[in-house]
Structure formats: structure tokens, C-alpha cells
Amino acid sequence: MNPARRRVLQAALAAPWLSSCASWVPEAPPALPREFRGAWVATVANIDWPSRPGLPAAQQRQEMQALLARAHEIGLNAIVLQVRPSADAIYPSALEPWSEYLTGASGQPPDEPWDPLAEWVDGAHRLGLELHAWFNPYRARHSRATSAPAPTHVLSAEPQIVRAYGDQHWMDPGEPRAAERLLAVVRDVLERYDVDGVHIDDYFYPYPITDAQGNELPFPDEESWQRHLRSRSLDGTGGIEGNRGDDVSARADWRRAQVDALVERLYREVHALKPWVRVGISPFGLPRPVRRPPGISGFSQYDKLYADVERWLEQGWLDYLAPQLYWPIAQAAQAFPLLQQAWREANVQRRHVWPGLFTSRIGSERNPYDADELLAQLQLTRHAGAADDGHLHFSMVALMQDRDGIATRLRAGPYAQAALPPATPWLDEPPPQPPACAWDARTRRLAISAGGAAPLRLVVLWTRAADGTWGWRAMPMAPGRLTEVALPEGVGAAWVVGIGRSGLESAALRLPIS
């Protein structure tokens, strides 16, 4: 919008010959369709973006824009972008180095000054998409890393908290500095970027590895474990293990306590800084063994990753859970319908439960899905009359390639009707107010501004035709940005609704168009 037109519209909001929102009559249009439709964009090992390390910034930007455009055209409404793949950053950071998956070498800046995360956030919001920042909490170095760690990387700066395990390196969750580093990075991102969510994945303690004989190798945290035992002995408390200092179960309890403390602190600190930002966790998809439905079996994250996910749900230490239900419907030992129901039943705090779908198994070489399988799984995440449905795709690469026509079929089928992400009403955000706007009856044009004490992320325009048919469109909003909309002659009535940053709706106000 050119500056002259902007000045005209700003003046129009107060012009006496225009109708303003203050004089409109409240009336309720239908309920907005709600469903979380997200996709992970993985940067580690260049799974999704950028397509390879060291690309010129201009090409990385083009790929970013193509990913966002595809997400929008398919009908997604959220992107979960991996911003910290391995104790590094895909944005300028004073805390951790540039990621080699972005620039080609750890700590090496891009070929031209730019802030990828800022452009991802702005690009997503301009298309009406949420942008959730995805952090890997403990991984220090991936097996596919090739460059030497930069001086600011944890392997160089604080090697004492890092453990080699197999062909990767991990920050030891038993080292307090591991949690402090993650929380500092999250705070930094929240302070500098207008993200809609903070997201962590399933890598807590690492997945176990085995030796040549198939024996499971223990995670090498003896130093932090012994320090914990000494501290408990000195203060006389005994700690969570009591007098069982060498008991395997005591050590497992202690490990789970380290992860629990991180999850609880993450939730508390995110909302202390920005109450409207959703905290999401995407754990391995199987509940702990004692909480599983009959017939379900397999890997136990409770016993091997030390992730007590059911406790996090019970305590309300997250706003959405995206359990990775990465198995076919017909695979009895990991049956998709039973697992989804188990997680919903464990959700005593009524948080969002949005399963992760393994969309990238479509067309893969190992145990592939077809599009029919994926679409059937998606349908199982929908519940009649529910306003809290949702799911996430892993990952965007399959949607970009339209494997087995999955992107085309999503757009024509389950995503044919647009939807907004579900609201998160338990977050401490003031109820949004209707937008500031003005209606010019002579030109049938509406000018909208997202001002007010509670900023709006979107404005929804509802219209009703003379034959009673309803329609709606969501328009992205930003502070200081004006949006102009022309209503066609066939519209007999119209309303506007403001959507806050946590998805809450304002009152619906009717335009005086007839």
C-alpha cells in the first residue's frame, strides 16, 4: 500500500461520513472451523531446508518462500521450524554459532547479512501461518556434521558437559548447564522474534545404541551421577534414590527428574516472558508400558529416554502434545487408533493433543506408506463436532514433492475448507477486541487496523449472501499495518472478528452495508 493511500485510510477511520466499528451492532456468525494443520521443517542434515549447506542467502530465501507458499496453498496453518538443530542456530545469535546446515561450517556467517528466522516469522505471518520455533534440547553434534565446532559451540566452550555416545555428542541432562543453555537460547529467541510457539522434540536422553554383539551401551553420565550422589550424601537428604545409590532404578528416577525439571522450567519461563506463546512437545508415540492399551507393545521412552510424558500432561507443563504416531493403522502392536485414544485419555488437564503423522514415509524406501494410509490417519484425528482437532506432518519434503499426490489430495479433500488453529484459552492473554475499522458505503470498501491493547494476529471477515450462504476469510494483521478489502455487490451482510495471538476471538461486529 503506497504512503498516500495509507494516509487516506488512516484519516478515514475517524471521518464522520464513514461508519465505524463503534456503531456496529453485535451479532454472531457461525463458529469458525478450527483444526491445527502443521508441518515440521527440519534443518538438521538439511532434511527440509535449506536443501544443502552453504547455499547463497538468496537461494535459501527462495527455498524458504517456496516452502511457505506450498504450506499456504495446501491449506496448512502452522510451520514448526527447527531453529536449534545441534546446539547451533539458524539465526544470528550471541549464544550459539551459526549452524553448518545453513552456512556450510559451524560458526561461519552467511554470505550476506540476513536473519533467516526473522524472515521465516514475517513470511509465515503475512500468509496467515503460525510459526513455532523448534529446539533440540540436548543434541550437541549430529552424526552427519562435517565441520569443526566453532569457538562458541558447546563442544568448544563447555566440553565438560558434553558426552560422546556412538557417533553423536549430547549434552548430559544431569549437568545443570545443559538446561541453562537451552533456556537462555529460548529466552533470547522469545525476546527477539514474534514466534507463536516454542517446541521441543523427542530427543531427551538419546535413543540407546548397541555394541557389535547387540548389547545396549549405557549413556556415559557417570560423572554427573556420582556428583549427585555425593551432594545427597553431604546434605543428608538421600535424594530421590534414598539409600539405593547403586540401584539401576534409582539412576533411572534421577534421570527422569532431570528431564522433568527442564520441561517444567521451560513451560514456566516461556509464559513468564510471553504468556500467549504455546509450548509444544513431540515425544515418541508409545505411552509408558503400564499405561498402554491391551495389545500395544514396543520401545519405552519412559525407561530408555527417561521422558515421563504422562506426568507432563497431568501437571499441565505443555500447551500441546504431538505424539509421533508413526505406524500404519493396521500395525496391531502400535495401532494408530488405540494410541491416539490413549494419549487423549491421559490428557486430564485438557491440553491440545495433535498427533504427528509420518507423511515422509510416503514413497520412502523403507516401510513406505501410500497417500491413502496417511489420509486415513488424518481422518482419525478428527472428532465429530470438536473444535480442538489437529495434527502435524513430518515433514514438508513429502508435501513439496507431492509424493503419491498427497499435497494435491490434501488440498482437494480434508483441507478443502480452510481452518484456523484451535484457541488456547488457558493462556494468560487479555481477550481480544474487535479491530479498528471503517466502512465506506460509497465504494463498498473496508479499512482495517489491528490496533488495541491486545494485538490481533488475524481479522476474520464473515459474509452472508442474499441466498443465506456464508463465507469467511482470514486476513493477517500486524501493528501499524492497514488492510483494505472490497466487498462485492452480492454480499448482503458482513461481520468482522478479531483473532488474538493465542487464538481467542473478539465479539463479532456487523458492518452497516445495507
Three-state SS for 179?
helix
Q: How far apart are CA 21 and CA 437, in angstroms?
A: 6
The pLDDT value recorded for residue 514 is: 66
The pLDDT value recorded for residue 489 is: 82
pLDDT at 13 over 50: no
The strand ranges marked E within 271-418 are 278-281, 320-321, 352-353, 356-357, 390-393
What is the third-level CATH fold of 36-210+260-412?
TIM Barrel (3.20.20)
pLDDT at 23 over 70: no
Angle, alpha carbons 103-107-109 (nearest 5°): 50
Closest to 297 (Cα-Cα) out of 332, 338, 333: 333
**What's the rounded mean pLDDT across residues 77-88?**
98
Q: How far apart are CA 402 and CA 420, in angstroms?
A: 23
Closest to 496 (Cα-Cα) out of 480, 477, 481: 477
The pLDDT value recorded for residue 246 is: 55
The pLDDT value recorded for residue 2 is: 52
The pLDDT tens digits of the residues spanning 261-299 come to 999 999 999 999 999 999 999 999 999 999 999 999 999
Q: What is the dihedral of CA 101, 105, 109, 112, to 10 degrees?
A: -70
The pLDDT value recorded for residue 387 is: 83
Closest to 194 (Cα-Cα) out of 112, 249, 130: 130
Three-state SS for 504?
coil
112 near 164, Cβ under 8 Å? Answer: no
460 near 484, Cβ under 8 Å? Answer: no
495 near 509, Cβ under 8 Å? Answer: yes
Which run of H or of E encompasses 498?
strand 491-500
Instruction: Give the start-to-end residue ranges of the domains of the chain.
Output: 3-31+427-510, 36-210+260-412
The pLDDT value recorded for residue 481 is: 75
- The residue written with cell numbers 565438560 in the block is 160
Q: How far apart are CA 149 and CA 217, in angstroms?
A: 26
The pLDDT tens digits of the residues spanning 184-229 come to 999 999 999 999 999 999 999 999 999 999 999 999 999 999 999 9
The answer as to CATH 3.30.360.10 being correct for domain 3-31+427-510 is no
Q: How far apart are CA 143 and CA 167, in angstroms?
A: 5
Q: What percent of the chain has pLDDT over 90?
A: 79
- Average pLDDT of the chain is 91
39 near 47, Cβ under 8 Å? Answer: no
The pLDDT tens digits of the residues spanning 92-110 come to 999 999 999 999 999 999 9
The pLDDT tens digits of the residues spanning 237-250 come to 555 544 444 588 99
